[in-house]
């Protein structure tokens, strides 16, 4: 039997962990580092690079070096988030035939799950080198506010990489597991997770091995990338004002500026100012042009203060959903690399009235928690009695006139089963259409469609007379089942909602075989 690993597949960096002697440990990558850049690059010779080697290609080969793919996964090309990203990314995006976003590589396209699978394949290889044996299964984490399409796309990526997914769990929940098990803490914890591409806030109750998620909220398009982009925009606008040259059309220059922006951001977490020096960034008929700017922490905090403030209403909503006041929170845990920013720490401290925990490594705790969950599932970890998570979105059905009737509220503990009675809207109606939706919008059209099915054979009756019970069930694994039953006839129709990233099962299997074939070819070449 192969080993099981916990994976934190991040927007900018990824981390893996496993169990040794029943305790979680971070597994280093093949270069001996605890985290791996979530970057994939293809050279002119067709060689595929992953991680640090790929990141080094970003400046010299920007069109074929793919990063921040987690922000694309499970997304439609025409979504506002993707349309905004098009102008910032040095590589090309296009619309796939099914409406999903696709990444252009030469004369072909790759889906975001396929690119993410290449990162996961490398992490799997690192784990196999660490254990000296095969790795076949994984617990993989996702942002708490990922919708079903994004979660399924992440599972598809793992499947393509040759990993069977034991469980998909929310990143803040995983962090809470690692924190609670290691510190043996009880009480109420707020997990503030600001990573490279997403923000989540989770309120978690820790009690003698029981981990109960009370509420979660977040923004699946707010993270460190946005902080980098503020510096990038500042540099671009300054350069345009000074030289009249727009760097936006120069992919090579744009990537150099982006890398400099990220470096400056990191340095400003530890120093009051930093110099950004980019010689020969462009040129005109008169001379070569350079960027040389000094950026202070104060200026950076001013230009990004609104991003930090965007997290506050989410925290307030999570507390309200949990029916808690600030004075009830015992522990504040910071997760994600962007929480190293002093302004973030200051704002969190001010909001909660207490300093967050400093002993937690924000880059590693999620992977450690995922490894712990794998141990819980196979019996290696016995300190944890129970993990109770919640569904991050409401579920319901469409009613007459674009109406939306919620059946399961957001932040309901899973597993859960709820029944709601509905009726017909027309006389002698023989069938009803059940349209399953996800979201909190008051109109059906404002929410995400998950599935549609029909209950046929209802006995003719005046409108409003038939009684139709619609039952929603969500398992601990997050699988949704919906059934509709006519009380008069006993007729029942059931559907298992398996949201798709847009990839069919056949496409996932074909990509998995292609990925496996490449790995075998690589092993043969090295042998």
Q: Look up the CATH number of the domain holding residue 443.
A: 2.60.34.10
pLDDT at site 98: 87
Catalytic residue among 70, 155, 258, 289: 70
Q: Is 114 a catalytic residue?
A: no
Q: Which residues form the domain of 377?
A: 3-221+327-389
For 495-523, give one letter per residue: b (16+ CB within 10 A) or e.
bebebbbbbeeebbeebbeebeeeeeeee
Does residue 502 form part of some domain?
no
Catalytic residue from among 114, 156, 171, 228: 171
pLDDT confidence bin for 475, thresholds 50/70/90: confident
Same domain, 365 and 436: no
Same domain, 129 and 56: yes
Q: Are residues 199 and 138 in the same domain?
A: yes
Q: What is the pLDDT of residue 286?
A: 85
Q: Is 193 a catalytic residue?
A: yes
Q: Domain check: are 150 and 266 in the same one?
A: no
pLDDT exceeds cutoff 90 at 355: yes
Q: Are residues 33 and 51 in the same domain?
A: yes
Of 192, 201, 190, nearest to 328 by C-alpha is 190
- Is 70 in the active site? yes
Looking at the structure, tell me whether residues 364 and 235 fall in a common domain.
Answer: no
Residue 278: what pLDDT? 94
Say if 32 falls within a structural domain. yes
319 domain-assigned: no
264 and 293 fall within a common domain: yes
Q: Which of 114, 125, 148, 193 is catalytic?
A: 193
CB of 227 closer than 8 Å to CB of 215: no
Alpha helix stretches (DSSP H) within 268-296: none
Share of the chain above pLDDT 70, in %: 95
At residue 25 the predicted structure's pLDDT band, cuts being 50, 70 and 90, is very high
Q: Do the domain assignments include residue 157?
A: yes
Q: Are residues 153 and 203 in the same domain?
A: yes
Looking at the structure, do residues 91 and 116 belong to the same domain, yes or no?
A: yes
The Cα 43–Cα 54 span in angstroms is 9
Lowest-confidence region among 156-160, 338-342, 368-372, 428-432 = 428-432
Residues 266 and 177 grouped into a single domain = no
For residue 523, tell me if it sits in a domain. no
C-alpha 80/C-alpha 98 separation (Å) is 17
| Burial class of residue 172 (count of CB atoms within 10 Å of its CB; 0-12, 13-18, 19+) | buried
For strands 331-335 and 288-296, give the pairing: unpaired
Residue 248 has pLDDT above 90, yes or no: no
479-500 pLDDT per residue, tens: 688 888 888 888 888 776 765 5
In a domain, 418, yes or no: yes
Dist CA 425 CA 423 (whole Å): 7
> Is 171 annotated as catalytic?
yes
* Nearby residues of 234 by Cβ (< 8 Å), 6 or more positions away: 295, 303
Residue that is last in its domain, among 369, 389, 409: 389
Q: Which of 8, 148, 200, 262 is catalytic?
A: 8
Q: Is residue 511 part of a domain?
A: no
Report which secondary-structure segment, H or E, holds 127.
helix 112-131
Query: pLDDT tens across 106-139, in order?
Result: 989 999 999 999 999 999 999 999 999 999 999 9
- Output the pLDDT for position 519: 53
Final residue before a domain boundary, out of 363, 389, 415:
389
Q: Are residues 243 and 105 in the same domain?
A: no
What is the total count of domains within the chain?
3
What's the token pair of residue 256?
């150099």
CA distance 174 to 260: 32
Is the entire prediction scored with pTM above 0.85?
A: yes
Sign of the CA dihedral with 35 first, then 41, 43, and 45 last: positive
Query: Per the domain annotation, does 520 fall within a domain?
Result: no
- Domain holding 265: CATH number? 3.90.640.10
Q: Cβ neighbours of residue 197 under 8 Å, at least 6 residues apart?
A: 10, 11, 12, 68, 70, 71, 220, 221, 223, 224, 225
Same domain, 384 and 282: no
């Amino acid at each position: 039997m192969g080993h099981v690993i916990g994976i934190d597949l991040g927007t900018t960096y990824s981390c893996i962990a496993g169990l040794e002697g029943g305790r979680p440990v971070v597994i280093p990558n093949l270069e001996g580092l605890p985290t791996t850049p979530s970057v994939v690059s293809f050279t002119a010779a067709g060689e595929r690079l992953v991680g640090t080697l790929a990141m080094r290609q970003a400046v010299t080969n920007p069109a074929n070096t793919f990063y921040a793919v987690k922000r694309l996964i499970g997304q439609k090309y025409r979504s506002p988030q993707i349309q905004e990203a098009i102008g910032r990314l040095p590589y090309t995006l296009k619309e796939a035939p099914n409406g999903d976003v696709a990444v252009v590589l030469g004369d072909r396209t790759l889906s975001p799950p396929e690119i993410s699978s290449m990162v996961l394949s490398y992490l799997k290889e690192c784990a196999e080198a660490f254990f000296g044996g095969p790795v076949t299964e994984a617990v993989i984490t996702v942002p708490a506010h990922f919708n079903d399409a994004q979660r399924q796309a992440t599972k598809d990526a793992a499947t393509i990489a040759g990993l069977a997914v034991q469980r998909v769990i929310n990143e803040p929940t995983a962090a809470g597991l690692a924190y609670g098990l290691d510190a043996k803490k009880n009480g109420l914890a707020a997990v503030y997770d600001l990573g490279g591409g997403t923000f989540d806030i989770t309120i978690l109750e820790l009690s003698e091995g029981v981990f109960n998620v009370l509420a979660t909220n977040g923004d699946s398009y707010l993270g460190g990338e946005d902080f980098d982009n503020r510096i990038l925009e500042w540099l671009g606008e300054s350069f345009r004002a000074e030289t009249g040259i727009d760097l936006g059309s120069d992919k090579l220059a744009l990537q150099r500026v982006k890398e400099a922006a990220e470096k400056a951001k990191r340095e400003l977490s530890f120093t009051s100012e930093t110099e950004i020096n980019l010689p020969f960034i462009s040129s005109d008929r008169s001379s070569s042009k350079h960027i040389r700017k000094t950026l202070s922490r104060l200026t950076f905090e001013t230009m990004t203060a609104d991003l930090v403030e965007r997290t506050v209403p989410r925290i307030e909503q999570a507390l309200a959903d949990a029916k808690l006041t600030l004075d009830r929170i015992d522990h504040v845990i910071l997760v994600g690399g962007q929480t190293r920013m002093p302004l973030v720490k200051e704002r969190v401290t001010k909001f909660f009235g207490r300093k967050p925990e400093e002993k937690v490594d924000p880059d590693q705790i999620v992977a450690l928690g995922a490894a712990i969950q794998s141990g819980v599932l196979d019996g290696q970890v016995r300190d944890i009695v129970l993990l109770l998570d919640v569904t991050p979105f409401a579920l319901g059905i469409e009613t007459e006139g674009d109406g939306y009737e919620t059946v399961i509220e957001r932040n309901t503990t899973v597993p859960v089963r709820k029944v709601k009675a509905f009726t017909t809207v027309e006389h002698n109606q023989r069938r009803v259409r059940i349209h399953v939706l996800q979201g909190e919008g008051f109109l059906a059209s404002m929410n995400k469609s998950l599935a549609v099915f029909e209950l046929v054979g209802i006995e003719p009756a005046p409108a409003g007379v038939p009684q139709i019970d619609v039952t929603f069930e969500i398992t601990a694994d997050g699988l949704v089942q919906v059934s509709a039953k006519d009380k008069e006839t006993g007729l029942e129709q059931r559907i298992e909602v398996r949201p798709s990233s847009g990839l069919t099962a056949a496409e996932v299997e074909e990509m998995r075989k292609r990925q496996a074939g490449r790995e075998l070819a690589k092993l043969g070449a090295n042998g």
